[in-house]
Structure 1
């Protein structure tokens, strides 16, 4: 299988051993129980079925390579087998035929994160890892794909968590509330795709000694050690969808990035079109 939408994966292509794994995030409590999913090299483990509605996914990377959790809903009549066969025949058309529902962005081995998504319709969903290995082969082609059946919702409908603030994903940028200051500690961000294209919001921390100039240079020529440390984020979702990202941030310099390819710009990654935004996480003592 060719690498689907290869421009999508510029950032994850090269991970340096010098980038040490950050400590596991401890997430704040909320009302929805977490559905636990583990990513290994190269498979997912977790429940086979969940009820429709708002669902918190807790993804833990227990493998030796970076992984993410991309959730997609298959159109009626498509199965995991026919999806994979479609990728072989026509990658672009097959990927365009599924609905991006969200998920957890790229995590290094040992990291975990939670994101709350709306499994709004019963049906067949797939858990996918699209990150390529050292040879450029996407992990899903190595077996990292799993079916998740979403059953009809129960009598009691879960509600999404309370968000600290909203981030809007637009073509092509990230819109935060005017004057917002991101402070350290546990928090929940509402991530809303105001499209019209599909978008994601992956979160990275600047590696020690690196600047945004290094990030921009890496995007133009992704060789050598990445100047960013992956910290997860909200995976790609279709226009109109909302995810709730659970974070526990330490003070420092961070970057939010969207690397989804643009169909209107010959597949150029959204980050190249301006969907790349640095932000600072302030210590609470600095807010006095």
Structure 2
């Protein structure tokens, strides 16, 4: 039996089961579904979006850039108050990136203190590096780096507390030299901000340095109950896939994104939602469908030469997942801001085989629509 087969059979399936159980039983704070339910007309969209940085008290700019072989996230601030927060992902590179947020569980914080390690370094050692070791084992051409093997948790491979980390949203896939904006509600806590898109040889960007720490204080900012006004709605669920009104006019929009429920899929995460323009290289539906699974050798691979990966991702909302959502007892809401030009687009989730799950839907914005 090959090493990759061993990993997929003896590690992946049991870990998915453990992860699901941990998510269901892990304690967590409720994600408020607070919204002002303001729907903007086309005449109001431009002024609303242009003043977003003034009306939203929490604005975090995340600059993605490359310095040689190092991949870097630069955060405009590393501490914000609790409440609605707009993340502006400025992709100053030629590779696709996103900014996935995960709330770090208390057991991980305790472990870092016990080991006398910085929290981010502790996470990288026990989560980021083992994931790279796992990925390398799936790539027959790669040589394993046993410095990344998780000696402290070799029996379980990943730390027991990893399933308690709560995916908390963030900007979706954003192509090179593109900026995207996403608004999510964050509770008090410490959050990992990372990109796990892979480079041309299968290294996660987080493994190459694109990972940072964000602290959310227990103070309530002015944006505690100030969710953005929106122009369109889109929802996603494990049962019905992606649902939306296909008659979308051209122009600037804020999409209210509703996660109706959640599930843990084969790639160890829940569903998210992303927007990509159709007709650019790997943006062709069949190629896109396969690309959205990081566990496949070529999945989520992107290169600065634009030879790999879809050519025009516009952003979206990363996975938001709580035990209550897994149980179908809670929904989550986030907001995605985008300027739509006439053309063909695809909503797609980063899950294995999104098309079969109803999570890859095409639509057209016509030349004559809009203001």
TM range (shorter): 0.7 to 0.9
Aligned equivalent of 2:336, options 219, 224, 245? 245
For 1:201, which of 258, 273, 291 is the aligned residue? 273
Contact 2:82 2:221 in 1 (8 A): no
Query: Is 1:44–2:110 an aligned residue pair?
Result: no
What TM-score, normalized by structure 2, do the two folds share? 0.61
Considering fraction of residues, name the structure with more strand: 1
How many residue pairs match? The answer is 257
Measure the CA separation in 2 of the matches of 1:165 and 1:254.
15
Q: In the aligned structure 1, how far is the partner of 2:106 from the partner of 2:96?
A: 31
Is residue 163 of structure 1 aligned with residue 163 of structure 2? no
Return the match for 2:312 from 225, 229, 233.
229
- Which structure has the larger Rg over C-alpha atoms? 2
Asked if the contact 1:206/1:228 (under 8 Å) is kept, the reply is: no
CA–CA distance in structure 1, aligned partners of residues 288 and 221 of structure 2: 48
The answer on whether the counterparts of 1:105 and 1:235 sit within 8 Å (CA) in structure 2 is yes
Question: Could you tell me which residue of structure 2 aligns to residue 73 of structure 1?
Answer: 103
- Name the structure 2 match of 1:276: 360
Matching of residues 29-40 of structure 1 within 5 Å? 29-30=51-52, 31-33=55-57, 34-40=59-65
**TM-score by structure 1 length?**
0.77
Q: CA deviation at 1:45?
A: 1.0
Q: Distance in 2 between matches of 1:201 and 1:252?
A: 19
Distance 1:162 1:154 in 2: 20
Aligned partner of residue 336 in structure 2, secondary structure: strand
* Structure-2 change in CA distance of 1:199 and 1:134 (3 Å): same
**Alpha-carbon spacing, 1:171–1:143, altered in 2? closer, same or farther (3 Å):** same
- Could you tell me how far apart the structure 1 residues matched to 2:248 and 2:198 are? 32
Which whole-Å CA distance do the structure 2 matches of 1:259 and 1:219 have between them?
Answer: 5
| Cα distance in structure 1, aligned partners of 2:103 and 2:289 | 33
Task: Out of 149-158 and 90-99, give the one that drifted further.
Answer: 90-99
Separation in 1, partners of 2:176, 2:292: 23
Tell me, which stretches of 5 or more residues in structure 1 are unaligned?
A: 7-25, 261-267
Residues 1-288 of structure 1 aligned to structure 2 (within 5 Å): 27-30=49-52, 31-33=55-57, 34-41=59-66, 42-46=71-75, 47-78=77-108, 79-87=119-127, 88=130, 89=150, 90-91=157-158, 96-119=163-186, 121-154=187-220, 156=222, 157-172=224-239, 173-177=241-245, 180-197=246-263, 198-208=270-280, 212=285, 215=288, 226=309, 229-238=312-321, 239=325, 240-260=331-351, 268-283=352-367, 285-286=368-369
Q: Which runs of 5+ in 2 are unaligned?
A: 13-45, 109-118, 131-149, 151-156, 264-269, 300-306, 326-330
Which position in structure 2 is the counterpart of 1:16?
A: none
> Structure 1, residues 10-61: CA drift from partner, whole Å, max 9, x if none?
xxxxxxxxxxxxxxxx954332143211112212111110111001111101
Query: Cα deviations across residues 222-276 of structure 1 (Å, max 9, x unaligned)?
Result: 697656522221112213322100010101110011123xxxxxxx444443311
Matching residue of 2:145:
none
Taking the aligned partners of 1:255 and 1:92, their CA distance within structure 2 comes to: 36
Per-residue displacement from partner, 1:78-113 (whole Å, max 9, x unpaired)?
232332233223359665331111111222221111
After superposition, give the CA deviation of every residue in 1:117-158 in whole Å (9 maximum; x if it has no partner): 000x21100101010011111111111110001011336435
